[in-house]
Amino acid sequence: MTALLETRGVWQRFGGLVANSDVSISVGRGEIVGLIGPNGAGKSTLFNLIAGVLPPTQGSIWFDGEDVTHMPAAARCQRGVGRTFQVVKSFETMSVIDNVIVGALVRNTVMREARRKAHEVLEFTGLAARADVLASDLVPAEKRRLEVARALATEPKLLLLDEVLTGLTPTEAQTGVALVRKVRDAGITVLMVEHVMEIVMPLVDRAIVLDLGKVLVEGKPADVVRDPKVISAYLGD
């Protein structure tokens, strides 16, 4: 069976800066894969290439057996690429349920069905009691969960999570970890960017370490954390 997601020799240049350099990764169906690495390693850039925010300078991206390299973000979302966004300002003035309905409208053109889907996702993510609250009134951990809920409402095959556990208290982070496991148990593949290794390593099946735009190491979390190359990248050698 082919991987759900593959990047093949992907490069991204911003002028003279090389943000992604010959990056080839794959994510299998049902996996939770962690994409880690120091600040500026190129993690968010790779996410943007996968989600279709920008086309790679070179290389190709394959999703669910299809070359999506030049497919716009909205079309990739239709194919099943879901991602979290920073909560944008305009959404802050909307209720929690309306935020999630925006995601659900990707698959349900009938408003009543989109609303039903949104309620189901709020139950799933533990936000049901906050449905009618303004997004701006949520505490930070709830805002992160709302981002996940909005992405889940698009009914993705692959969920891209960019630092959704960063900056949370240990208890909140554990709630987040439990939610990611629940997402995978629901049959959704997860690729997550996290900066904090202690949180992400116990959760992922496989870790891919980016450094200076390149894949430095990949493998089982226990092996990756002990790898001298990874240790020196994090210590800034």
Q: Which residues bind ligand ADP (CB under 6 A)?
A: 14, 17, 19, 37, 39-45
Over the window 1 to 40, marking each residue x when it contacts Mg ion by CB under 5 A and - when it does not, the resulting string is: ----------------------------------------
Q: Considering beta carbons, is residue 155 or 162 the nearer one to Mg ion?
A: 162
Query: Closest approach of Cβ 36 to ligand ADP, in Å?
Result: 9
Is residue 78 a contact point for Mg ion (CB under 5 A)? Answer: no
- Cα–Cα distance between 208 and 194 in angstroms, integer? 11
- Cα–Cα distance between 74 and 14 in angstroms, integer? 23
Residue 7 interacts, among ligand ADP, Mg ion, none and using kind-specific CB cut-offs from 5 to 8 Å, with: none
> Nearest to Mg ion by Cβ — which residue?
44
Largest CA distance in the chain: 56
Q: Specify the amino acid at residue 231.
A: I
- Cα–Cα distance between 113 and 132 in angstroms, integer? 18
Q: Considering beta carbons, is residue 118 or 160 the nearer one to Mg ion?
A: 160
Report the DSSP beta bridge partners of residue 192. Answer: 34, 161
Is residue 44 a contact point for Mg ion (CB under 5 A)? Answer: yes
Closest CA to 63 of 139, 122, 8, 144: 8
Is residue 166 a contact point for Mg ion (CB under 5 A)? Answer: no
